[in-house]
Amino acid sequence: MTTLGAIALPQNPPETLPALARAADEAGLEEFWIWEDCFLHSGVAAAAAALAGTGRVRVGIGILPVPFRNVALTAMEIATLRRLFGDRAMVGVGHGVQDWMAQVGARPASPMTLLREYVTALRALLRGETVTVTGRYVNLDGVRLDWPPDPPPELLIGATGPKTLRLSGELADGTILTAGTPPDGVRAARGHIAADDHRVVVFLQTATGPGAAARLTDEVGLAGDAATIAAGVRRWAEAGADAVILQPTEDEPDPAGFLRFVAQEVRPLVDQGVS
């Protein structure tokens, strides 16, 4: 069965996040995703707040940009979230937006080399291993987490281009595809990933209510009532998406209402196959 979730955009003030997370939890939403976009919310702090105020919904960070933080710190943060909240905490990592990375003086000359070194070390740390590595970007000397998560968590990579998709298939448990990825793009991504038991998560811009179609900013997206959106979700699922995460527009007038709409109106129609 396809997982259905929704995003709380970081364009909303951080203080609104706990109430949005509770609305998602109470509505029965399966997955509640947040972003770490520069220079808005901190992904880890936002996820911790969302998880602490809920008891059922899974909370995903899509994504933590790897040039932004030392890999040992990211391992500590992921381990802490998982030990506190178990498998309700999900984390994706990725290149980040290169212009933003340049703004903070962290843009790598070779994003692919950095991502490979980073994910390899991160996974080893999360397995509780002692890691010593001398790389182009990642350098660790006998680093071991005192409180590794048990079991080691799944790790997702945000990817768009063929090289990063192939790397994700090689090193990660799943891949996050950005909004704007059409069904054919999901099929193509699956081909590049070329891995079994690999979870593909797709963000999909969605609008409902009056003027829905006019509010879409991405060329690829869904607009309409619950039946129309449910039918669209099935198209992405048939193309190979394991999870479809609906992304409201920045001008969505009722973010909490959007979460309830996804959980209570769209979800039943996806399950029932009603178009």
pLDDT exceeds 70 at position 275: no
Q: What percent of the chain has pLDDT over 90?
A: 96
Domain ranges (residues) in the chain: 3-109+153-272
For residue range 25-44, list pLDDT tens digits in order: 999 999 999 999 999 999 99
If you ran DSSP here, which 8-state letter would residue 161 be given?
S
pLDDT exceeds 80 at position 258: yes
Q: Which two tokens stand for residue 208?
A: 């409902």
Q: Which two tokens stand for residue 237?
A: 């699922």
pLDDT exceeds 90 at position 48: yes
Q: How many CB atoms lie within 10 A of CB 134?
A: 9
pLDDT exceeds 70 at position 274: no
**By 3-state DSSP, what share of the chain in percent is helix, strand and coil, each rounded to 5?**
45, 20, 35
Residue 219's pLDDT is: 85
For residue range 130-156, list pLDDT tens digits in order: 999 999 999 999 999 999 999 999 999
CATH 3.40.50.2300 fits 3-109+153-272, yes or no: no
Tell me which residue of 270, 82, 23, 253 sits closest to 61, measured CA to CA: 82
Cβ atoms of residues 158 and 94 within 8 Å: yes
